[in-house]
């Protein structure tokens, strides 16, 4: 299998894109630490836990452990990496997927939600990378995938036509753009040590449990979910490449699948 012998941590893996990437990595042979806050379902409209993802991986023939971790908490992040190393003895892959999005304009987004975007979407990946990096440096090998978004792609200077969407998620967009710049800065810094840093984004909106939750009223039945198949295939592909030569890329899932015939 492509990723036989590799060990991965996937953040935000209780459901949605994180869950689907964790499953794809495991099916490709990696042992996976499934990390997120959700040990129980927080709402009937929002199914999925770290334990359910582990069950799904094991049902598919893979190897996984559940690790409860809040990526805004440095102690929990360090414990997550420690548990992974104690269980599997190494760490090769880190997928930073956990993120928050509060859809408000600049005048009505509470300051606490501004801080939350920064804590989870920017500080979280930085802390996770910092915790994982010493082991990857010792191994002289590692793959870091930061999950971004088309929201991080900006339209350039105006004036703007009516087909340019008016963003109601300015903080989410700003943090995703920051993550892309972070990724390429670290790609330059650690290329010679054999550690790759790449960004991966969904081409469009995937109907994950989190996305559907925002459209479902309390007591209502959520519409059907979509699996992030192309995201999973793309993540496996990235982690199958030479980290010294395939690094610093800003990738979109559908284009990656098409370009590399995945």
Question: Which domains does the chain carry?
Answer: 7-259 (3.40.50.720)
Q: Residue 39's pLDDT band (boundaries 50, 70, 90)?
A: confident
Per-residue confidence (pLDDT) for residue 151, from 0 to 100: 80
Cα–Cα distance measured from residue 81 to residue 23, given in angstroms and rounded to the nearest whole number? 19
Q: Any catalytic annotation for residue 160?
A: no
- State yes or no: pLDDT of 227 exceeds 80: yes
What is the chain's mean pLDDT, rounded? 91
Residue range 116-142: mean pLDDT, rounded: 97
CA angle 125, 143, 257 (to 5 degrees): 100
Smallest Cα–Cα separation from 149: which of 132, 167, 131?
Answer: 167
The better pLDDT of the pair 45, 71 is held by: 71
Of the candidates 88, 160, 172, 190, the residue annotated as catalytic is 172
Residue range 54-72: mean pLDDT, rounded: 97
What's the pLDDT tens digit per position in 162-188? 887 776 789 999 999 999 999 999 999
Give percent of the chain with pLDDT exceeding 70: 91
Per-residue confidence (pLDDT) for residue 147, from 0 to 100: 97
CA atoms within 13 A on the CB side of 197: 26
Q: Residue 155's pLDDT band (boundaries 50, 70, 90)?
A: confident
Least confident of 51-55, 170-174, 207-211: 207-211
The pTM assigned to this predicted structure is 0.94
Residue range 33-60: mean pLDDT, rounded: 88
Smallest Cα–Cα separation from 135: which of 95, 94, 96, 90?
Answer: 90
No. of H helices and E strands in the chain? Answer: 9, 7
């Amino acid at each position: 299998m492509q990723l036989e012998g590799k060990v991965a941590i996937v953040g935000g893996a209780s459901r949605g894109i994180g869950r689907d990437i964790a499953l794809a990595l495991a099916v490709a042979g990696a042992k996976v630490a499934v990390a997120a806050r959700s040990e129980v379902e927080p709402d009937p409209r929002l199914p999925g836990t770290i334990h359910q993802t582990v069950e799904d991986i094991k049902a598919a023939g893979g190897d996984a452990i559940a690790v409860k971790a809040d990526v805004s908490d440095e102690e929990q992040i360090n414990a997550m990496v420690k548990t992974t190393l104690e269980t599997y003895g190494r760490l090769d892959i880190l997928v930073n997927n956990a993120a928050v999005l509060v859809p408000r304009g600049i005048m009505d987004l509470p300051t606490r939600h501004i801080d939350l975007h920064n804590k989870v979407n920017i500080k979280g990946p930085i802390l996770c990378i910092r915790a994982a990096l010493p082991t990857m440096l010792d191994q002289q090998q590692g793959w870091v995938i930061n999950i971004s978004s088309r929201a991080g792609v900006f339209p350039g200077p105006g004036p703007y036509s009516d087909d340019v969407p008016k963003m109601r998620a300015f903080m989410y967009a700003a943090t995703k753009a920051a993550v892309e710049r972070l990724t390429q800065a670290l790609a330059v810094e650690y290329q010679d040590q054999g550690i790759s840093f790449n960004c991966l984004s969904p081409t469009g909106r995937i109907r994950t449990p989190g996305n559907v939750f925002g459209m479902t009223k309390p007591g209502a039945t959520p519409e059907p979910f979509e699996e992030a198949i192309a995201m999973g295939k793309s993540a496996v592909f990235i982690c199958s490449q030479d980290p010294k030569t395939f690094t610093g890329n800003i990738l979109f899932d559908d284009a990656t699948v098409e370009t590399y015939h995945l």
